[in-house]
Amino acid sequence: MTQITGVISLVYGILLNTGISSRNHSPPKPASNHTLSLSLQSLRLLNHFACVDLHMLQAILGSEGLSLQLRHIASYLLWYCSHWNNTALLHELILLIGYFTVLNVDNQNVMQSGRDPQQATILQQLCSLPFDYFSNPKLTRVLFPTLISCCFRNDENKAVLQQEMSAVMLSSFIEV
């Protein structure tokens, strides 16, 4: 089961070679189809693994070294997908973040850690997705469960979320 750790390290290594560490104010260079396909399939594998054994996935990805790699991968891919349209990759990433954080305070804290004034946290990046993710019901069904997972019983994450958007939107989503 712990070989699943190799998936994160593989994606991290591939993205590192494409510029994960060299983010600046210019858009990222387009990634190769091979890199995008491998990243997408890796995220799908992790999401399927979450369906088999969520607690194991959370424990493995929440370990010290892997949680940092996952945070870098998620941050980079959110940034990448904000410049290059890759809906499938973005949705798999959002789903993985939801699985990673659901009912797990330590993993929730990873979503708001690494605050660099130059760079938004993963939670802030999720809240900064295009307006359609907050207005189109099909897309809110993708994003909102993950935002709820990131903030459930986590006052610090709720505070970050409320600086970026109205929590009433999430409350309304839950009520429906």
Please write the tens of the pLDDT for every residue from 126-176: 999 999 999 999 999 999 999 999 999 999 999 999 999 988 888 889 887
Rg (CA), the chain: 15
Q: With H, G, I as helix, E, B as strand and everything else as coil, classify residue 116.
A: strand
Strand partners, 40: none
Instruction: Please tell me the distance from the alpha carbon of residue 99 to that of residue 50, in angstroms, as a whole number.
Output: 7
pTM: 0.93
Give the residue among 98, 96, 113, 80 at the shortest CA–CA distance from 44.
96
Helices (H) and strands (E) counted in the chain, each on its own, are 11, 0
